[in-house]
């Protein structure tokens, strides 16, 4: 129990900090007098009071966290903070029940972007800004943010970062001190967000929409302030800005950090994921644009290219924006887009899925097995770039792929058993576990998740958490060995 109380002590501090993030939409509500001021005031008071009480009650258990504690804290943060993130939505929108509000908050903090809300254009700006802000906070990871300041609170951060950073190469260090690493990542993240907002404003958005969509673009979570998403503007220039910054956010932020620190673009050339990431997206965009033109979905090839590029990049990077209802396209196209969402983004990015590095390792292992079948005595090392991949990493990736596939199958079967049709259930499982957002069928880009019953909503919320924390961070705490001394 001492371990649990020590973790709760840190969790209390993080809840306190999280409550302070609501001051931004509160300020906007006060400025605009948009009717949501009271709900943010109440939410801030409840959040800060709860955080303070938890911290105070566990103060005598304060100590340095161990590795196991880091995993437990990560799971508790990602499952508990949505309770407080949902409060403004729950207070302002009485038609939402707890399961729907929690789903919306989990979708935001996991940078998934699936929504149960409609009538977004009529919502107070402060509510929409809060939805965008929680995606921005969750995009890089609230844990990484906390790691930058936890030393001030007397808690180390290495074990937290190892549990939080996505990808199989977690031991890579960017700077000698973990706090420097976290601050460096966030400085890049914040700087790119500012550039994105300025670019959106230049392209024609209002300042509010520019900031809100900069949050969700860099976080790769497709919440929008308009029901029509990017179809609201119908602007190729705005869509081009979105594509550029979605592509940037889909690259490992460690690579951005190293390139910025060295003032050199060579790091992108040597990154083992960037080349494959861009080439696969380029081939997919050109190929599917030609397919849409050939299938006479669009009469003009440039129009086909415009809609193909925006929606393919959006889905492949697990952002979830749309500028048209791509679910009515020939079925091969949206299915290929869902396929891309499973692996296209880089490890260390704000995207979901298994990540490109794992896809490359799997490809290498398949190649090795075929060569060994023909030449049993051959020694063929698996390489990513010039680096030989250790067998333990290959095994870990294979196990990860197994758990990933089984999780999609179980979630899809559960949703089907509860009454959803196969297409909707299967695409919902993929969309939630990949942290994509919209799926196909009844949860396509022109629809929402509001049609789900409470059981289905809770299942999708759990699937989003599983995908965001890459399965094992969650599953490990349910093993008896985790709780043994």
Domain ranges of the chain: 2-179
Per-residue pLDDT at 361 exceeds 80 = yes
Q: What pLDDT does residue 152 have?
A: 40
Q: Which tens digits make up the pLDDT trace of 121-144?
A: 999 999 999 999 999 998 877 556
Q: What pLDDT does residue 252 have?
A: 86
Place of tokens 């979708």: 107
Per-residue pLDDT at 171 exceeds 60 = no
Q: What pLDDT does residue 52 have?
A: 93
Query: What sign does the CA torsion over 442, 412, 417, 102 have?
Result: negative
pLDDT band at residue 230 under the 50/70/90 scheme: very high
Q: What pLDDT does residue 178 have?
A: 65
**Tokens coding 455:** 């059981």
Q: Are 15 and 81 in contact (CB under 8 A)?
A: yes
Per-residue pLDDT at 169 exceeds 50 = no
Q: What pLDDT does residue 461 have?
A: 95
CA neighbours within 13 Å on the CB side: how many for 83? 11
Say what percent of the chain tops pLDDT 90. Answer: 55
Model-wide pTM > 0.85: yes
The angle at the Cα of 393, spanning 389 to 395, to the nearest 5 degrees, equals 120
Strands, E assignment, 138-188: none
Q: Are 131 and 104 in contact (CB under 8 A)?
A: yes
| Secondary structure percentages of the chain, helix, strand, coil, to 5 | 70, 0, 30
């Amino acid at each position: 129990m001492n371990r649990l109380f020590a973790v709760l002590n840190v969790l209390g501090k993080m809840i306190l900090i999280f409550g302070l993030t609501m001051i931004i939409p509160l300020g906007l509500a006060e400025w605009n007098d948009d009717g949501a001021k009271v709900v943010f005031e109440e939410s801030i008071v409840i959040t800060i009071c709860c955080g303070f009480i938890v911290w105070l009650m566990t103060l005598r258990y304060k100590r340095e966290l161990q590795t196991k504690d880091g995993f437990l804290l990560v799971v508790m943060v990602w499952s508990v903070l949505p309770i407080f993130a949902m409060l403004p939505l729950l207070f302002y929108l009485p038609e939402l029940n707890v399961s729907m509000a929690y789903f919306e908050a989990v979708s935001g903090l996991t940078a998934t972007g699936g929504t149960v809300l409609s009538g977004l254009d009529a919502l107070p700006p402060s509510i929409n800004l809060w939805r965008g802000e929680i995606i921005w906070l969750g995009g890089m990871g609230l844990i990484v943010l906390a790691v930058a300041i936890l030393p001030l609170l007397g808690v180390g951060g290495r074990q937290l970062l190892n549990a939080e950073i996505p990808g199989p190469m977690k031991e890579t260090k960017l700077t000698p001190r973990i706090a420097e690493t976290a601050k460096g990542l966030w400085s890049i993240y914040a700087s790119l967000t500012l550039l994105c907002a300025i670019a959106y404003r230049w392209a024609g958005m209002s300042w509010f929409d520019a900031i809100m969509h900069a949050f969700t673009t860099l976080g790769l979570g497709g919440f929008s302030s308009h029901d029509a998403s990017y179809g609201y503007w119908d602007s190729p220039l705005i869509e081009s800005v979105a594509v550029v910054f979605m592509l940037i956010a889909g690259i490992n932020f460690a690579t951005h950090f190293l390139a910025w620190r060295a003032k050199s673009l060579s790091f992108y050339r040597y990154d083992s994921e960037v080349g494959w990431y861009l080439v696969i997206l380029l081939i997919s965009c050109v190929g599917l644009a030609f397919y849409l033109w050939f299938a006479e979905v669009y009469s003009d090839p440039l129009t086909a290219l415009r809609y193909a590029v925006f929606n393919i990049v959006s889905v492949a990077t697990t952002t979830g924006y749309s500028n048209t209802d791509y679910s009515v396209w020939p079925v091969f196209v949206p299915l290929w887009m869902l396929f891309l969402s499973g692996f296209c983004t880089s490890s260390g990015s704000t995207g979901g899925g298994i990540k490109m590095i794992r896809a490359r390792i799997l490809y290498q292992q398949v190649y090795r097995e075929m060569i060994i079948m023909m030449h049993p005595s051959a020694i063929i090392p698996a390489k990513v770039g010039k680096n030989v991949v250790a067998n333990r990493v290959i095994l870990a990736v294979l196990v990860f792929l197994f758990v990933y596939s089984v999780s999609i199958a179980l979630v899809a079967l559960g949703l089907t058993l509860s009454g959803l049709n196969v297409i909707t259930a299967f695409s919902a499982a993929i969309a939630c576990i990949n942290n994509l957002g919209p799926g196909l069928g009844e949860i396509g880009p022109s629809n929402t998740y509001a049609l789900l019953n409470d059981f289905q909503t809770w299942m999708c919320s759990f699937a989003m958490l599983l995908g965001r924390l890459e399965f094992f961070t969650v599953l490990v705490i349910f093993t008896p060995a985790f709780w043994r001394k």
